[in-house]
Amino acid sequence: MKNYCTHPKTITSEAELDATLARPYPELVNMMKHLEGDIAILGIAGKMGITLGMAAVNAIREAGVNKKVFGVSRFSDPAAADTLSTAGIEPIRCDLLDRAAVAKLPKTPNIIFMAGRKFGTGGEEDLTWAMNTIVPAHVGEAFGSSRIVAFSTGCVYPLVPVTRGGCNEDVTPDPIGEYSSSCLGRERVFAYYSRTLGTRVCLFRLNYALDLRYGVLRDIADAIWEGRPVNRSVGWFNALWQGDANNHALLALDHCTAPATPLNVTGPETASVTAVAERFGRLLDKPVTFNGDPGPVAYLNDASRAHRLFGYPRVALDTVIEWTADWIKSGGRSLGKPTHFEVSSGKF
């Protein structure tokens, strides 16, 4: 058995980065030994889905069981389908807005639902609502007998003062703006199918996954590296290594319930934008300047329940900070998709 508590000192290539993000926990390998049926990842071709699919395939292989992993997307980037095939994931091209096409997907007992729309909401609000509420209806209708881990966001909660601590799952959602409201809509549609069809659902409220190619840390570090001021109007954040998020999402298949229950997923640290930026300044050997002062509130979530279920994330925030600084210094690629973590108006 590999030692999962050790991580590379630094990450030097995309192959090594993907392998690190796709490393399954021993608990995930164990879960694959008893999880019944195949797995389909809907909306796989985005920032997270491909390495999540790879983590599933690796866990299945290490468990020595026979199970297929399907990856469903439109494949706007056709290369993503080849990447999936090479990794042992079966790509299926499908537009999830097409109800008839969704009805024809293989009826896998395990669904990870990742499709959604955030950026570009301003001006095309109808498309965001369609993606975030009509698509879940198609999936809810087609997969009534499956377990569904439905990706959601911590932005369904209200902004809170840092002195209050993060929102746990007992806090009533109170989303700001159309995107966050449509994400609550997505949750409500899945909850409706869970209540009426008995579908087991976990509403996976994720706050900022960290890759080295995108994420809040990458956004802060890029600003410093390029000599731009760091926007700290939202002064604190929670985040977790995407490899941990991938493991938590797959492990959540074992915690799907009817009626649907929410699960906050993020790291244990309440990170200060100021302190993280200053740390990057030292690691990158660059001066740090800021735009304004931290505002009174931030999106902060308490993921204690997930930590109790799955243990603390295996990779500490400070490790990801060091990896990110090394990655940027060596010219590591960016996806060019900023998170806009500094937005508190709900407008994306």
Ligand X SMILES: NC(=O)c1ccc[n+]([C@@H]2O[C@H](COP(=O)([O-])OP(=O)(O)OC[C@H]3O[C@@H](n4cnc5c(N)ncnc54)[C@H](OP(=O)(O)O)[C@@H]3O)[C@@H](O)[C@H]2O)c1
Residues of this chain that interact with ligand X (CB under 6 A) are 43, 45-49, 73-76, 94-97, 114-116, 118, 131, 151, 153, 206, 208-209
Min dist CB 85 to ligand X, Å, is 15
Nearer to ligand X, 45 or 191 (CB): 45
Nearer to ligand X, 29 or 208 (CB): 208
DSSP state of 261: E
Nearer to ligand X, 49 or 53 (CB): 49
Going by C-beta distance under 8 Å and a sequence separation of 6 or more, which residues neighbour residue 293? 232, 233, 235
Q: Rounded to 5, what percent of the chain is helix, strand, coil?
A: 40, 15, 40
Interatomic CA distance for residues 263 and 150, integer angstroms? 10
Min dist CB 319 to ligand X, Å, is 18
Min dist CB 252 to ligand X, Å, is 13
> Residue 34, Cβ neighbours under 10 Å: how many?
9
Contact (CB, 8 A) for 29 and 63: yes
Q: Residue 79, class by beta-carbon neighbours within 10 Å (0-12 exposed, 13-18 middle, 19+ buried)? A: exposed
Min dist CB 344 to ligand X, Å, is 16
Q: Could you identify the residue written with the tokens 């949750």?
A: 187
Backbone φ and ψ of 331, nearest 5°: 80, 20
Nearer to ligand X, 31 or 156 (CB): 156
Tell me the residue number closest to ligand X, measured at CB.
Answer: 46
Residue whose C-alpha is closest to residue 114's, from 191, 51, 43, 211 = 43
Nearer to ligand X, 29 or 45 (CB): 45
Min dist CB 245 to ligand X, Å, is 8
Min dist CB 313 to ligand X, Å, is 14
Nearer to ligand X, 43 or 332 (CB): 43
